[in-house]
């Protein structure tokens, strides 16, 4: 590891960025340097602009594009102390797309299709608590507070703790699971290594359950979190409460789930049904 990379990592760690965020930002700067075959401190604003245009032409997804931008901006701001270059590194505009939402019946279909035991409990916990995948894997046994019927999500995105409701049914499921899968301190861990399961493994478990369910909608672990938020709103939970449960910094982030609720759409009048449409059968006087 070069001294420059090590310093960038330390600059990010000093500001309490998560391990995953540090990795993403460092990798973004490394890809930029590799493209030109030179150390990033020797590259110019024009090189950055050229690289950004290449990413656009190559159809790089918005997440990767903006992670790279964030990494470059912090690298030039913190590590190289060149604030004049930061303002030239433009963010990409986030595309406004709606997340995939499963109906409660479809969620149940996926959960029932997962293998009983560990696989099913992982998916049930994610949906019931609205967890991110990293939050699920970082759950410890002591985070299940049955006296207050809450799950404590520690150091979620943005290094924030929060509470999410613990349903009585999930508590029973977790207690039964714990009788056969004791892995302190983690709630979900590999019995051989004692470490939390990998993200790749859990995503694979989810995809297998979706395949077995027969659903064709694109569905991932994060889809279950989207479903939690949408179904909570449809059940009458107010937006501010949901924001706290989801761990969102801004209410606007939570408000996007208002666009995927369906119960208010079902209550709107159907214009087609209100029209006096002719029937396809024979009418009076027609020969």
Q: pLDDT of 42-63, one tens digit each? A: 999 999 999 999 999 999 988 8
> Can 93 be counted among the known catalytic residues?
no
User: Which residues share a beta bridge with 160?
Assistant: 156
Q: Compute the C-alpha angle 59/50/53, nearest 5°.
A: 25
CB 252 within 8 A of CB 243: no
Supply the pLDDT for residue 274.
Answer: 66
> Can 231 be counted among the known catalytic residues?
no
Q: How far is the C-alpha of 26 from the C-alpha of 245, rounded, in Å?
A: 30
> Can 132 be counted among the known catalytic residues?
yes
User: Who contacts 171 (Cβ-Cβ below 8 Å, separation ≥6)?
Assistant: 144, 146, 149
Overall average pLDDT of the 12-41 stretch: 93
Structure-token pair, residue 179: 């009788």
Common-topology check for domains 3-86 and 104-265? no
CB atoms inside a 10 Å sphere around CB 219: 23
Q: Would you tell me which CATH number, out of the four given (3.90.1150.10, 1.10.150.130, 3.30.420.40, 3.20.20.80), belongs to the domain 3-86?
A: 1.10.150.130
Overall average pLDDT of the 156-168 stretch: 87
Position 236 pLDDT exceeds 60: yes
Overall average pLDDT of the 97-121 stretch: 93
CB 174 within 8 A of CB 144: yes
What average pLDDT does the structure give for the chain? 89
Residue from 157, 199, 256, 261 carrying the catalytic annotation: 157
Structure-token pair, residue 101: 């939402």
Q: How far is the C-alpha of 170 from the C-alpha of 126, rounded, in Å?
A: 10
Antiparallel, parallel or unpaired: β 150-156 and 160-165: antiparallel
User: Which residues share a beta bridge with 164?
Assistant: 151
Overall average pLDDT of the 201-227 stretch: 96
Position 117 pLDDT exceeds 50: yes
Residue from 31, 199, 222, 256 carrying the catalytic annotation: 222
Under the banding of pLDDT at 50, 70 and 90, the label for residue 39 is: very high
pTM: 0.73
The length of the chain is 287
Asked if CATH classification 1.10.443.10 holds for the domain at 104-265, the reply, yes or no, is yes
What are the phi and psi torsion angles at 144 (to 5°)?
Answer: -90, 100
Q: Which helix (H) or strand (E) holds 214?
A: none
CB 238 within 8 A of CB 129: no
What is the rounded end-to-end Cα distance, in angstroms, of the chain?
Answer: 89
> Can 257 be counted among the known catalytic residues?
yes
Q: How far is the C-alpha of 150 from the C-alpha of 95, rounded, in Å?
A: 35
Supply the pLDDT for residue 287.
Answer: 46
User: Domain spans of the chain?
Assistant: 3-86, 104-265
Under the banding of pLDDT at 50, 70 and 90, the label for residue 187 is: very high
Q: How far is the C-alpha of 86 from the C-alpha of 165, rounded, in Å?
A: 42
Supply the pLDDT for residue 20.
Answer: 87
Q: How far is the C-alpha of 76 from the C-alpha of 81, rounded, in Å?
A: 6
Position 172 pLDDT exceeds 80: yes
Supply the pLDDT for residue 252.
Answer: 87
> Can 226 be counted among the known catalytic residues?
no
Overall average pLDDT of the 232-236 stretch: 91
Residue from 162, 225, 226, 231 carrying the catalytic annotation: 225
Alpha helices in 15-103 (DSSP H): 19-36, 45-57, 62-74, 83-86
Position 31 pLDDT exceeds 70: yes
Task: Kindly calculate the radius of gyration of the chain based on its CA atoms and give it in whole angstroms.
Answer: 24
Question: With pLDDT > 90 as the criterion, what percentage of the chain qualifies?
Answer: 68
Supply the pLDDT for residue 280.
Answer: 60
Position 94 pLDDT exceeds 70: yes
Residue from 5, 132, 199, 256 carrying the catalytic annotation: 132
């Amino acid at each position: 590891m070069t001294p420059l990379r090590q310093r960038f990592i330390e600059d990010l760690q000093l500001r309490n960025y998560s391990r995953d965020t540090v990795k993403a930002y460092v990798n973004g700067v490394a890809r930029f340097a590799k493209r030109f075959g030179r150390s990033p401190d020797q590259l110019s604003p024009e090189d950055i602009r050229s690289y950004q245009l290449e990413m656009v032409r190559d159809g790089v997804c918005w997440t990767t594009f903006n992670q790279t931008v964030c990494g470059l901006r912090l690298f030039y701001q913190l590590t190289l102390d060149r604030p004049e270059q930061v303002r030239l590194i433009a963010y990409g505009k986030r595309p406004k797309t709606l997340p995939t939402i499963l109906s409660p019946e479809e969620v149940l279909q996926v959960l029932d299709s997962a293998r009983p035991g560990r696989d099913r409990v992982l998916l049930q916990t994610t949906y019931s608590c609205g967890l991110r995948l990293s939050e699920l894997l970082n759950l410890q046994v002591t985070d299940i507070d049955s006296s207050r019927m809450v799950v404590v999500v520690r150091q979620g995105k943005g290094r924030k703790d929060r509470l999410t409701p613990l349903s009585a049914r999930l508590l029973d499921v977790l207690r039964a699971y714990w009788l056969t899968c004791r892995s302190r301190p983690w709630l979900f861990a590999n019995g051989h290594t004692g470490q939390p399961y990998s993200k790749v493994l859990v995503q694979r478990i989810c995809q297998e359950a979706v395949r077995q369910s027969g659903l064709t909608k694109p569905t991932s672990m994060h889809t279950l979190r989207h479903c939690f938020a949408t179904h909570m709103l449809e059940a009458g939970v107010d937006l501010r409460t949901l924001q706290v449960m989801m761990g969102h910094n801004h209410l606007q982030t939570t408000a996007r789930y208002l666009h995927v609720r369906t119960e208010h759409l079902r209550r709107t009048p159907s214009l087609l049904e209100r029209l006096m449409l002719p029937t396809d059968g024979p009418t009076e006087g027609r020969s």
